[in-house]
Structure 1
Amino acid sequence: MPQMAPMMWLNLFIVFLASLMCFVVMNYSIIPMNKIYQPTSSKKKSEKNWKW
């Protein structure tokens, strides 16, 4: 597809960067909230003690 006009490639690149930034920002804002509300004591209970 190198026959496409350079401005078309620029528009596609800008749309790709904008969608990538939206994806990263949404993941960053959603995932830490789930981690904050989990109780910290449940992690200690689920840890296995490998020392004998």
Structure 2
Amino acid sequence: MPQMAPIGWLSLFIIFSLTFMLFSIMNYFLMIPKSPKSHILKNIFNTSFNWKW
């Protein structure tokens, strides 16, 4: 089995690193966060408190 030259390992490492960073950046910027604040605020303002005392 032939051995790989050091420049081959370096280019392989760079390609995999760039691919990993590309997918990480895409995952970070393409994720659409859901905002639970509006749902919580609606429930707080719409509920009426009936105090039993």
TM-score where L is the length of structure 1: 0.61
Give structure 2 stretches of 5+ with no counterpart: 44-53
Q: Larger C-alpha radius of gyration, 1 or 2?
A: 2
| Alignment root-mean-square deviation, CA | 2.4
What letter corresponds to residue 24 of structure 2 in structure 1? Answer: V
Aligned to 1:26: 26
Give structure 1 stretches of 5+ with no counterpart: 46-52
What letter corresponds to residue 11 of structure 1 in structure 2? Answer: S
- SS where residue 3 of structure 1 aligns? coil
Aligned to 1:16: 16
Once the two structures are aligned, what percentage of the paired residues are identical? 44
Give the whole-Å Cα distance in 2 for the aligned partners of 1:26 and 1:2: 36
* TM-aligned CA deviation for residue 30 of structure 1: 1.0
Runs of 4+ in 1 over 4 A off after TM superposition: none
Higher helix share: 1
TM-score where L is the length of structure 2: 0.60
